[in-house]
Structure 1
Amino acid sequence: MLGNLDAGGKEERFKLIEKAAALGKIADLCQLFGVSKSGYYAYLKRKGDDRDAEAKQQIRKAYKRYEGKYGYRQLQLFLWQDDGIWMNHKKILRLMQELGLQARIRRKRRLNGTYQAGERVAENLLKRDFTAAKPNQKWVTDVTQYRVGERWLYLSAIKDLFNNEIVAYQLSERNDNALVLQTFAKAFAKQKDVTGLVVHSDQGFQYTSHAYHDMLPKVGAQISMSRRGNCLDNASMESFFSHLKTEGLYPYDIRKMAEAQRRIEKYIRFYNRRRPQRKLGKLTPVDYRRQFAA
């Protein structure tokens, strides 16, 4: 038997030892096949290095494709979505460390928001349950701001908790009631029936206004509000704004209002259609909604 193996060389013997490794001690198998134990382990290392070379190239491409913004967990989802490659997240972390690839540090958004005294408040119907069994069951909404030079740009957005999709948004240089009302006008124009919908917000002045409280009951929606000064009650919306800024705005040197608007609009399209989420079964918000409707 060993004579036949001589033609294939030591590499063939190493392969046989690898296959038989579960049947006996490596040292005994190496002695049986006439090779050294150090030579066998060197063979395993070469084999592992070759296999990792392809994986490293795949990781490097995905990292570059998304401008180095993401860590190993999100890259795992992008590799699956874009390339059909499912790689263990621990392996991705190890290979990223070997390659010296790091995600851009994510800025933590302070969760101690301030509120203006409002006219009307509502009970917290959501109670931090950020899940929904179907579309248009629970929406969360808020307004955030982004500074461009000496000016401020305000974004009002609505997220459907069923699939975390941004169903409507509005940009303005004025933070007023009209900004929020226009956002909801867009959202309701897309939906046929929102009867029973719970809409959750903080107690900002736009959401405690008479106009807001008159608008939602007319379409059969219920108003829910965070407790005063408790941003964790609307953590899902806070999370989206954090992703938007750290992935879509902070990495760039934005000097003009038009560019900021373009970046925000581009990111929202990306978030809805191209950014897979683990909680959605590795699907994007739009794909998850389409799967539900199929």
Structure 2
Amino acid sequence: MSKKLYSEFQMKELKKNSNITSVSERSISYSPKFKINAVKEYKNGKIPSQIFIEHGFDIEMIGKDQPKRCLRRWRETFERYGEEGFLSERRGKGSTGRPSSSSLSPEEQLKKAEARIKFLEAENDFPKKARSSRKAGVEEETILRQSEKFYLIDRTIQKHRLKKAISYLCELAGVSRSGYYDWLNASPKRAKREEQDEADIVLIKEIFKKKDKKAGALQIKMFMENDHSTVMNPKKIRRLMAKYNLITKIRRANPYRKMAKATKEHCTCPNLLNREFNQNEPGKVLLTDITYLYYGKGQKAYLSCVKDSTTKEIVAYHLSSSLEMDIVYSTLKKLKLAVGKTFHSEAILHSDQGFHYTHPQFQHRVKTLGLTQSMSRKGNCWDNAPMESFFGHFKDWAEYKTCKNIREVRKEVYRVIEEYNHRRYQWGINKMTPVQYRSHLLAA
């Protein structure tokens, strides 16, 4: 059984070779005819890799060591049984020296099944966070490292006192028997290394804690050398920090900044508003912006709002789990539905110079709605102060941090905005609610 894991594509390619009878993720079964020819060609002076290449195999695909391993096993079979050793059993099991399952007694088959079950149980109980990951096509697959497999084999044998199960469990785990014994023999070295790690981590933890968890591997290395006269390889420091779960507090990338790589097509608009927020006409000046809301276990949602600067009413809003352009497109659609047939003849949509609002497609949609776009000066939050003020108050009122999922956040956002528009009286608009004040101005 090969240690190499074959992908779906590789298995399909290998099956095209007539010298192969079957392929699985872990193994290749070769035809008896090819095995006999390979042994004969080897005796005539050809090397294993040359034999495989001449019979249409891609050495990089099957593994560089595969030809040598196969020929060694096949030669032993040929010397003991001749050609009949490859033809007498299906898939040429004589070449492996493994007995057919049909030749096992019922008691032996039961012990084999029990060993398999115990190993799979141990594998299932093994902590997932201790496993390594590899890319398998699009999805990410979690697999066990070779050393972890050896550990599970040993634990299964010791715990359940299994006898004569090493070969079978190694085959089941996809590792070699010799590799397992090498791993066992290296136990004293591993114990010594573990003891050394326990001693080395003490100073690393001390520095890490002293620096309020804000020191990385290179910083810790410099503190060790300058303050404690201790030299340690930064790779070892990183390994120990990962092993003992010392995670450095670092500045997280601003989600807005990730989106802010504007192209030449992006362009800003002049500040037409100039902080003249109160126009005494509902719908004449609309302010928009996006804020983030943390909920659950560090999850993040984004709230896009449009506010009437005169009435202070939240005219439209959209909550999303993504900062993609759809968040502002959906907000515009809801704004259109909220306003109805037509906007104010001199309506202005004012925002900051964020990526979304300088995007040519967004500006085109704003223009299609009949709105004139205006933007704050770069880095000047005061030019959109009422919108910023609302978000500040919103985060004081809303209990979104206790929400477990986006659906609960959406309900909380709806509750707070409904209360703000219809039931929260404001001194600056004649002690009315935003909706009442809009009706008051329209009636006047």
TM-score, normalised to structure 1, is 0.58
Match of residue 271, structure 2, among 111, 119, 124: 124
Question: Which position in structure 2 is the counterpart of 1:244?
Answer: 394
Deviation at 1:219, TM superposition (A): 2.4
The CA RMSD measured in Å over matched residues stands at 1.9
1:187 aligns with 2:373: no
**Contact persistence 1:114–1:229 (CA under 8 A):** no
Deviation at 1:231, TM superposition (A): 1.2
SS at structure 2 position matched to 1:207? helix
Q: Give the length in aligned residue pairs.
A: 182
TM-score, normalised to structure 2, is 0.39
User: Following superposition of structure 1 onto structure 2, how do residues 219-234 of structure 1 map, counting pairs within 5 Å?
Assistant: 219-234=369-384
CA distance in 1, matches of 2:364, 2:378: 21
**Contact persistence 2:282–2:442 (CA under 8 A):** no
Gaps of 5+ in 2: 1-254
CA distance in 2, matches of 1:162, 1:122: 22
**Contact persistence 1:120–1:208 (CA under 8 A):** yes
Match of residue 361, structure 2, among 201, 205, 211: 211
Match of residue 420, structure 2, among 257, 271, 285: 271
CA distance in 2, matches of 1:146, 1:174: 12
1:168 aligns with 2:316: yes
Deviation at 1:258, TM superposition (A): 2.2
**Contact persistence 1:272–1:284 (CA under 8 A):** yes
Deviation at 1:193, TM superposition (A): 1.8
Residue range with higher mean Cα deviation, 229-238 or 115-124 = 115-124
Gaps of 5+ in 1: 1-112
Structure with higher Rg: it is 2
CA distance in 2, matches of 1:273, 1:151: 30
Question: Which position in structure 1 is the counterpart of 2:385?
Answer: 235
SS at structure 1 position matched to 2:275? coil
Question: Which position in structure 2 is the counterpart of 1:293?
Answer: 442
Higher relative contact order (CA 8 A, sep 6+): 1
Deviation at 1:221, TM superposition (A): 1.0
Deviation at 1:249, TM superposition (A): 2.9
SS at structure 2 position matched to 1:217? helix
Identity of aligned residues (%): 36
SS at structure 1 position matched to 2:304? strand
Question: Which position in structure 2 is the counterpart of 1:134?
Answer: 281
Deviation at 1:259, TM superposition (A): 2.0
CA distance in 2, matches of 1:239, 1:202: 14
Higher helix share: 2
User: Following superposition of structure 1 onto structure 2, how do residues 1-294 of structure 1 map, counting pairs within 5 Å?
Assistant: 116-118=260-262, 119-148=266-295, 149-191=297-339, 192-194=341-343, 195-249=345-399, 253-294=402-443
Deviation at 1:126, TM superposition (A): 1.1
In the TM superposition, what whole-angstrom CA distance separates every residue of 1:153-187 from its partner, at most 9, and x where no partner exists?
Answer: 11110001120000000111011211101111111
